[in-house]
């Protein structure tokens, strides 16, 4: 019986716009797009138990997270207690399922310095469950404003990052939970068309301002932003740099100097408001240089061997 123990902290990630690329291989499946890497993030603590069962907790409550279950199935582990502590809720669009799956994979495999293998397994689990197509890569390799320029798992896809001002804060409002699978399937045509258009426009002028401008265009055309949201934020327009909605979370960029004034104003319009900083990336990145990847792709079984 494998003994596992450890803790890993990762940031979360919210995509502003994206274009999916679906292949017959979960490692090459993914998306291009741009998103914000945010902190506070998520901490995963894992330990081996004597019982032959998996016990998963999210902020103290029992939970079942599909890609986490698939990951542990791939690693053939079930005698574990897994505790996730997260500032952001799961199911709204913060990329928490991807962050959780990545953090758990790293907690299990980092003692072997198998960082890329951990990230690839997490990506595969997310793809199989259709809970994310790019969050794992953005969290694993990105910081601040993460740009996914090539789809696929870490080591296959490519992520670049834009270093923006440290004096920016992100106010986030939990609107309503929404399943990523439903979003990807039901809105596929709109996401494909407007995701590619906004991505191409962004690459011509990459900046935080253009990110929010184009993310808002994407969100309006896909149907994430409602008239009520636009009206509510019109009343605080002079305080904000930009805003957008991804799935079920509203993101508002403000200057650090007025963040608490803006927070109070936004809280008058919305019940639950969180304050995030732009994330500086995984702390283990320096250690990853010691990992030697002999093969570009992981050795996986058939595509039907692991299901969500």
239-285 pLDDT tens trace: 999 999 999 999 999 999 999 999 999 999 998 999 999 998 887 64
The CATH number assigned to the domain with range 1-293 reads 3.30.230.10
Coil, strand or helix: which one is 207?
A: coil
Q: pLDDT class for 64, splitting at 50, 70, 90?
A: very high
The secondary structure of residue 54, as a DSSP letter, is -
21-51 pLDDT tens trace: 999 999 999 999 999 999 999 999 999 888 8
DSSP H or E stretch at residue 297: none
159-182 pLDDT tens trace: 999 999 889 999 999 999 988 888
Single out the residue of 40, 33, 37, 39 nearest to residue 16, CA to CA.
Answer: 33
For the chain, the first-to-last Cα distance in angstroms comes to 24
**pLDDT greater than 50 at residue 297:** no
Q: How far apart are the C-alpha atoms of 282 and 34, rounded to whole Å?
A: 18
The residue extents of the domains of the chain are 1-293
Give the percent of the chain with pLDDT over 70.
92
Q: Is the pTM of this model over 0.75?
A: yes
Task: Please state whether the peptide bond connecting residue 40 to the residue before it is cis, i.e. omega within 30 degrees of 0.
Answer: yes
């Amino acid at each position: 019986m494998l003994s596992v123990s450890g803790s890993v902290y990762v940031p979360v990630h919210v995509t502003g716009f994206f274009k999916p690329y679906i292949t017959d291989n979960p490692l090459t499946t993914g998306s291009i797009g741009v998103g914000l890497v945010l902190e506070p993030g998520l901490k995963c603590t894992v330990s081996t138990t004597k019982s032959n069962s998996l016990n998963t907790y999210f902020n103290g409550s029992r939970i079942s997270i599909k890609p986490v279950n698939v990951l542990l199935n791939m690693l053939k582990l079930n005698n574990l207690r897994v505790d996730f502590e997260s500032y952001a809720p799961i199911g709204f669009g913060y990329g928490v399922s991807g962050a959780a799956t990545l953090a758990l994979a790293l907690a299990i495999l980092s003692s072997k310095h198998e960082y890329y293998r951990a990230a690839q397994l997490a990506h595969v689990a997310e793809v199989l469950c259709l809970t994310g197509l790019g969050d794992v890569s953005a969290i694993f390799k990105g910081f601040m404003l993460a740009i996914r320029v090539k789809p696929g798992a870490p080591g296959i896809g490519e992520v670049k990052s834009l270093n923006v001002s440290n004096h920016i804060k992100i106010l986030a409002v939990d609107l309503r939970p929404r399943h990523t699978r439903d979003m990807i399937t039901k809105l596929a045509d709109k996401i494909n068309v407007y995701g590619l258009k906004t991505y191409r426009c962004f690459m011509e002028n990459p900046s935080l301002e253009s990110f929010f401008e184009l993310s808002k265009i994407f969100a309006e055309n896909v149907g994430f932003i409602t008239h009520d949201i636009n009206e509510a934020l019109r009343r605080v327009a002079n305080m904000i740099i930009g805003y957008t909605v991804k799935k079920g979370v509203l993101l508002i960029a403000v200057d650090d100097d007025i963040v608490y004034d803006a927070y109070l104003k936004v809280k008058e319009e919305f019940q639950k408001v969180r304050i995030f900083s732009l994330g500086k990336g995984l702390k283990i990145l320096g250690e990853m240089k010691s990992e030697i990847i002999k093969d570009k792709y992981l050795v996986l079984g058939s595509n039907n061997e692991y299901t969500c």
